[in-house]
Structure 1
């Protein structure tokens, strides 16, 4: 991957969280496409812990929706490095075997880094690296339908596996960790419509991100970008910030 022309400038890091199947990846991709050539989407799932030492069938039943399943400290370190203008070697994950691949993925700094995953706002160390925190919400039955389609089409996991895991791990972990993390959000996106309607539905959010990038200057106290003199992340979302 060729480093973008503006890689030397301070980066913005935007976090996108929410329940599985809510549309986080789509929101992240839309925000990145608004900055062609100068944005990159990091999947928090890339940082899932390797389960290759766990025998089958226990490995297939691993709780990958618990915060302990993510190496969040490494993710936070990589986000900090990208903000500082340093490339990182991010892990790659094989969802069909629940294991990390031997090869890493080199990620170069970009003006906008978007990190997305169900637990992005549930991790304190990751939250500290975020300049804007977004939570994508949707009805849970719709989320499950989307999850079933995704797992079968792109992750090599059958419908039976997802339906088995839903009451065991997916739904309980949503109620315990993912849902409560919404209180940390600056912006909540309600995504209960068709995918093609989402770009227009988040027009305000897209304008906000573009304005931040165009107006950003480094805050001398934190070294992070500011917009119109206001430090990013100071605007409270629903329920305030913690």
Structure 2
């Protein structure tokens, strides 16, 4: 099993990079564990309180469970991945069963912030992108997918997204084995990364 960590700022193109890697690998051989699925359950809070939470701080993620699940997959055991809703800011009672695969990708803005999680990764990737481009994508995504107003998105960006990026996310570049500029548009970097994955899979087999 090859475990790949893919981090980068909000709106940097991580999801696109993951999708393009999957497209280039054998079908059915990749499992993805999104960090977003492991946001802590905050059902004890009101909806208004949950919507004001800082989702860009490492404390918002139940990394203990993510590390546990990753270890179980390495042991050849299936896991029940949580499902998290950005509309209600709650975990669903349902889960997604994930079987062990040849390649497991852990993807999220804070994926490289935790030492015990990094230690499980064979390849660590940081998806880099200009701040203005990231903000543009965040505005479009949060309005369409998460039902937020432009003012709400901009307010959150200034109060939490930008400062948390500078404090926690940007510094994890130094842990990356590969930095992918321009996000999912960098086909050359994605091809190199995919080639490396295929080569290492053959070595393992």
TM-score by length of 2: 0.94
User: Residue 65 of structure 2 aligns with which residue?
Assistant: 74
Residue 153 of structure 1 aligns to a residue whose secondary structure is helix
**For the pair shown, which has the larger CA radius of gyration, 1 or 2?**
1
1:111 aligns with 2:102: yes
User: Residue 39 of structure 2 aligns with which residue?
Assistant: 48
Contact 1:96 1:157 in 2 (8 A): no
User: Residue 24 of structure 2 aligns with which residue?
Assistant: 34
Cα distance in 1 for residues equivalent to 2:190 and 2:47: 42
CA distance 1:78–1:183, change in 2 (3 Å): same
* Structure 1 residue 89: Cα displacement: 0.5
Q: 1:98 aligns with which of 80, 85, 89?
A: 89
Residue 73 of structure 1 aligns to a residue whose secondary structure is helix
* Structure 1 residue 204: Cα displacement: 1.3
Cα distance in 1 for residues equivalent to 2:149 and 2:78: 36
User: Residue 163 of structure 1 aligns with which residue?
Assistant: 154
Cα distance in 2 for residues equivalent to 1:213 and 1:47: 27
Write the deviation string for residues 17-62 of structure 1: whole angstroms up to 9, x where unpaired: 0100101111111122222111122111000012222124222110
* Structure 1 residue 201: Cα displacement: 4.3
Residue 124 of structure 2 aligns to a residue whose secondary structure is strand
1:133-148 mapped onto 2 (5 Å cutoff): 133-148=124-139
Write the deviation string for residues 118-150 of structure 1: whole angstroms up to 9, x where unpaired: 000011121111110000000111001111112
CA distance 1:164–1:111, change in 2 (3 Å): same
Contact 2:47 2:88 in 1 (8 A): no
Q: After the TM superposition, which of the residue ranges 98-107 and 33-42 deviates more from structure 2?
A: 33-42
Cα distance in 2 for residues equivalent to 1:139 and 1:203: 21
Residue 92 of structure 1 aligns to a residue whose secondary structure is strand
CA RMSD, aligned part only? 1.5
Contact 2:50 2:89 in 1 (8 A): yes
Unaligned runs of 5+ in 2: none
Residue 202 of structure 1 aligns to a residue whose secondary structure is helix
* Structure 1 residue 165: Cα displacement: 0.6
1:125 aligns with 2:125: no
Residue 31 of structure 2 aligns to a residue whose secondary structure is strand
Unaligned runs of 5+ in 1: 1-10, 218-242
The structure whose residues are more often helix, as a share, is 2
